């Protein structure tokens, strides 16, 4: 008679990670990839440098940005004035440092407004479709029918010159970019199985949008937002250059370039240093945006 056999114990299956753990792991992987991406790190360092000098500007400067010294007009860069002085004897280094505050402030609030408004419109158009999609898409087409800077000039001309109005204009002209990007992404995500399953079980549309569609549509908006920040800085400088942005005596970089046109040959430093500040700020955001695109776009991964 055969001895009874003991039942074999099934091997324990490893517990699957929770959605929260998977999300944290994805962010950690993205962060590590960002640290390994050379151009993204260079761009991030440039941006952090400008943020740092904008925050601690009063502690760095022996001169106020609007302190006039008639005896020091158009002095070349020296130990006393690192970037030289302008036609009113104001220290250009102080004005460039304070100008970082203005450019970053305008870029941040303008692009934040564009992202919020554009993403909301894109979500509605892509998810609900129908007449909502038609109206919102035609609105985007109308805004995109005009060159961005010309539309911004028209908006500021109607609202009146000033830094806040320039910020509103920059936000408005960038709404279609984020809206169309979000709409195209939502149209793709809406066809995924997990969204179809949520609709099949009767989940509310608002919950599907917030829990499923929006989190899976946010990646291209992040990349475009970083690149759009650089565009906003350029647009703010362009409006300031033609006198529709920041008004005197605000030390906005575009306005500084405009004021120095008469001295481009006799005192070129009055134009060089604000121009370099614009160039490096835009370069930093472009490098960071390109790096994020390479990291977050699966097609760019090896």
Contact 253, 274 (CB under 8 A): yes
Most trustworthy range by pLDDT among 79-83, 104-108, 289-293: 104-108
pLDDT value of position 64: 77
Residue 41: both structure tokens together? 């790190």
CA distances from residue 292 to 101, 118, 172, 231 in whole angstroms, order as listed: 24, 20, 25, 17
Half-sphere exposure of 24 (CA within 13 A, CB side): 5
pLDDT value of position 15: 46
Closest alpha carbon to 183 in 221, 223, 147:
221
- Helix H or strand E segment including 275: helix 269-296
CA distance 91 to 69: 9
Question: 1 falls in which pLDDT band (50, 70, 90)?
Answer: very low
pLDDT tens, residue by residue, 245-256:
888 888 889 999
User: Residues 287, 288, 289, 293: is their CA dihedral positive or negative?
Assistant: positive
Q: What is the pTM of this model?
A: 0.83
Q: Give one DSSP letter per residue of 164-197, joined into a string.
A: HHHHHHHHHHHHHHHHHHHHHHHHHHTTSHHHHH
pLDDT value of position 265: 87
pLDDT tens, residue by residue, 285-301:
999 988 888 887 655 44
**Runs of H (alpha helix) within 61-147:** 92-128, 130-144
CA distance 202 to 105: 43
* Lowest mean per-residue pLDDT among 87-91, 98-102, 110-114, 199-203: 199-203
Closest alpha carbon to 137 in 175, 169, 171:
175
Contact 30, 218 (CB under 8 A): no
Q: Considering the chain, what is the average pLDDT of its residues?
A: 84
Residue 194: both structure tokens together? 């997990």
Question: 234 falls in which pLDDT band (50, 70, 90)?
Answer: very high
Question: Helix 130-144 to helix 163-189 angle, to the nearest 10 degrees?
Answer: 140
């Amino acid at each position: 008679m055969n001895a009874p056999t003991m039942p074999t114990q099934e091997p324990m299956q490893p517990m699957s990670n929770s959605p929260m753990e998977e999300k944290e792991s994805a962010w950690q992987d993205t962060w590590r990839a960002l640290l390994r991406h050379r151009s993204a790190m260079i761009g991030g360092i440039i941006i952090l440098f400008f943020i740092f000098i904008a925050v601690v500007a009063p502690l760095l400067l022996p001169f106020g940005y609007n302190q006039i010294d008639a005896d020091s007009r158009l002095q070349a860069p020296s130990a006393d004035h690192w970037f030289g002085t302008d036609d009113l004897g104001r220290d250009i280094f102080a004005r460039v440092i304070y100008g970082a505050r203005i450019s970053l402030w305008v870029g941040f609030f303008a692009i934040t407004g564009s992202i919020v408004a554009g993403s909301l419109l894109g979500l509605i158009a892509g998810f609900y479709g129908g007449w909502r999609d038609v109206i919102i898409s035609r609105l985007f087409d109308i805004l995109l029918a005009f060159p961005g800077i010309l539309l911004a000039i028209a908006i500021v001309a109607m609202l009146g010159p000033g830094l806040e109005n320039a910020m509103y204009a920059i936000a408005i002209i960038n709404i279609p970019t984020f809206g169309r990007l979000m709409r195209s992404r939502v149209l793709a995500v809406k066809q995924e199985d997990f969204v179809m399953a949520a609709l099949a079980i009767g989940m509310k549309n608002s919950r599907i949008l917030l829990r499923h569609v929006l989190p899976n549509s946010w990646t291209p908006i992040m990349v475009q937002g970083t690149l759009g920040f650089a565009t906003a800085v350029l647009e703010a400088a362009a409006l300031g250059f033609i006198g529709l942005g920041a008004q005197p005596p605000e030390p906005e970089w575009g306005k500084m370039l405009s004021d120095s046109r008469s001295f481009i040959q006799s005192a070129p430093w009055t134009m060089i240093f604000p121009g370099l500040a614009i160039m490096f700020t835009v370069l930093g955001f472009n490098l960071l945006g390109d790096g994020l695109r390479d990291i977050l776009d699966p097609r760019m991964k090896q």
